[in-house]
């Protein structure tokens, strides 16, 4: 009987004892757990930049290709074989104003001038003869005792008018012949470069045939598209050319042979028409003496066709803070670390937000630390640890 008692009671006692020991261990562990300090908060490590108030001119970015101010397609005005070509009449060759680039055979046109001169001399002789006849006819009329006005037929007025008209026609023929002779020499009235050579010596040129393309080197122009949003930040001249001294300055930049080059330019006018497709206004920047051939510029050579990026000087603003564009949040706020290294979310006034920088005129003071580290859910009052600054002592 006793054996039976131990057989059933002993396992039950072991189970109860195990439960008591387990509860004892849990209670002991709970007693040793330190209390959580609800006031203690871990500082968030962030990077900051110092806000700096300044006065400056806003900058509008654009881009465009360099093109000549004046470009000419040389066309033959008279026919004939090309008998002379200037050594400078090659692609890239430079020439002076009035220099003969090509010459068409002038012999036929020189002969035409001589024929016109002879015809004019003959017409002058006929006119002199008619004048003498008219004067003699009037004298004979008076000698006959006639009084009153001399009839026009008697005074040979029709014959005199015809002779005078023939002289005028001969003078016009001579003027045309001389002009045709001048047109055998092809030149342009500016210093320039040859863009393209089409005709060469020995080739027959008909009237209207293209001979080449040249352009002036006194200045180059760049059409810079400006969006409607950017127009508010610029003080652009009208369609007429502006005073060079008051025209907005432009800084041009391009990569030439792996080297970054820079040129100074000026906005001289706007085209005055909003492009219907892109809704932009084109401002025209000018570079004086782009090739340095006229001694008016000391800048690097700026070749026609170069694609350049442009920074246009905009209107002047005072007391603004310039910050990287990425620090501005979608709701026009920025994160600021205050004097106690606590996070503040500031509403700011945005003068202009560009692709790289943002200009702020309120909300951030000079010298304040603006947080540049991206925080997914910034909470005002969060303790901050500023990178590069010693950690603040906590009590």
> What does the mean pLDDT of the chain come to?
86
The CATH code of the domain at 46-56+318-386 is: 2.40.420.20
Residue 393's SS3 state is coil
Average the pLDDT over each of 29-43, 156-170, 248-262, 315-329 and give the range with the smallest value.
29-43
287: its two tokens: 């570079």
The stretch 123-135 carries a mean pLDDT of 89
Evaluate if residue 28 carries a pLDDT over 80: no
Choices 3.20.20.70, 3.40.50.2000, 2.40.50.100, 2.60.40.1150: CATH for 78-104+185-216: 2.40.50.100
90: Cβ contacts below 8 Å, ≥ 6 apart: 194, 197
What is the residue extent of each domain of the chain?
A: 46-56+318-386, 61-68+217-317, 78-104+185-216, 106-183
C-alpha span between 298 and 375 (Å, rounded): 50
Residue 7: the pLDDT is: 60
Task: Name the DSSP letter for residue 342.
Answer: B
Evaluate if residue 39 carries a pLDDT over 50: no
User: CA of 334: how far to CAs of 187, 201, 223, 319, 383, in Å?
Assistant: 64, 71, 37, 18, 16
Evaluate if residue 6 carries a pLDDT over 80: no
Model-level pTM greater than 0.75? no
Residue 166 region, left (φ>0) first, then alpha (ψ -120 to 50), else beta?
Answer: alpha
Average the pLDDT over each of 205-209, 227-231, 320-324, 351-355 and give the range with the smallest value.
351-355
The stretch 72-93 carries a mean pLDDT of 95
Handedness of CA 357, 363, 367, 372 (dihedral sign): negative
The stretch 354-370 carries a mean pLDDT of 88
Residue 247: the pLDDT is: 81
Residue 302: the pLDDT is: 94
C-alpha span between 25 and 13 (Å, rounded): 19
240: its two tokens: 């007429």
Tell me if 38 sits within 8 A of 278, measured CB to CB. Answer: no
Evaluate if residue 4 carries a pLDDT over 60: no
Evaluate if residue 38 carries a pLDDT over 50: no
Nearest to 263 by CA among 303, 204, 319, 213: 303
Q: Please say whether the structural domain 61-68+217-317 has been given the CATH code 2.40.30.170.
A: yes
Q: What is the dihedral of CA 294, 299, 304, 307, to 10 degrees?
A: -170
User: pLDDT tens digits, residue range 227-277?
Assistant: 988 888 888 876 666 566 678 899 999 998 889 999 999 999 888 888 888
């Amino acid at each position: 009987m006793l054996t039976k008692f131990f057989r059933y009671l002993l396992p039950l006692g072991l189970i109860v004892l195990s439960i008591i020991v387990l509860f004892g261990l849990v209670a002991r562990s709970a007693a040793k757990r330190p209390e959580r300090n609800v006031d203690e908060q871990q500082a968030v490590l962030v990077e900051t930049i110092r806000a700096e108030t300044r006065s400056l001119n806003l900058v509008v970015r654009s881009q465009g290709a360099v093109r000549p101010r004046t470009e000419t397609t040389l066309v033959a005005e008279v026919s004939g074989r090309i008998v002379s070509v200037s050594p400078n009449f090659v692609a890239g060759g430079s020439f002076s104003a009035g220099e003969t680039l090509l010459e068409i055979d002038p012999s036929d046109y020189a002969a035409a001038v001589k024929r016109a001169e002879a015809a004019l001399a003959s017409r002058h002789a006929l006119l002199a003869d008619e004048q003498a006849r008219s004067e003699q006819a009037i004298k004979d009329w008076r000698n006959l005792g006639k009084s009153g006005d001399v009839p026009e037929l008697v005074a040979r007025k029709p014959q005199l008018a015809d002779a005078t008209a023939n002289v005028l026609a001969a003078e016009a023929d001579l003027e045309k012949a001389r002009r045709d002779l001048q047109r055998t020499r092809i030149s342009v009235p500016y210093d320039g470069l040859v863009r393209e050579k089409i005709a060469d010596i020995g080739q027959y040129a008909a009237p209207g045939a293209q001979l080449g393309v040249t352009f002036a080197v006194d200045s180059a122009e760049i059409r810079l598209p400006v969006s409607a949003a950017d127009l508010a930040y610029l003080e652009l001249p009208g369609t007429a050319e502006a005073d060079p001294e008051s025209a907005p300055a432009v800084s041009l930049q391009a990569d030439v042979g792996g080297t970054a080059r820079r040129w100074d330019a000026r906005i001289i006018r706007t085209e005055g028409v909003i492009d219907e497709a892109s809704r932009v206004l084109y401002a025209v920047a000018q570079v004086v003496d782009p090739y340095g051939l006229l001694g008016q510029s000391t800048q690097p050579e700026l070749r026609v066709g170069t694609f350049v990026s442009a920074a246009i000087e905009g209107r002047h603003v005072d007391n603004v803070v310039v910050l990287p564009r990425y620090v501005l949040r979608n709701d026009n706020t920025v994160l600021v670390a205050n004097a106690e290294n606590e996070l503040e979310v500031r509403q700011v006034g945005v003068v202009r937000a560009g692709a790289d920088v943002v200009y702020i005129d309120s909300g951030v003071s000079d010298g304040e630390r603006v947080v540049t580290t991206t925080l997914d859910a910034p909470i005002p009052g969060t303790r901050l640890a500023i990178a590069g600054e010693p950690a603040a002592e906590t009590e």
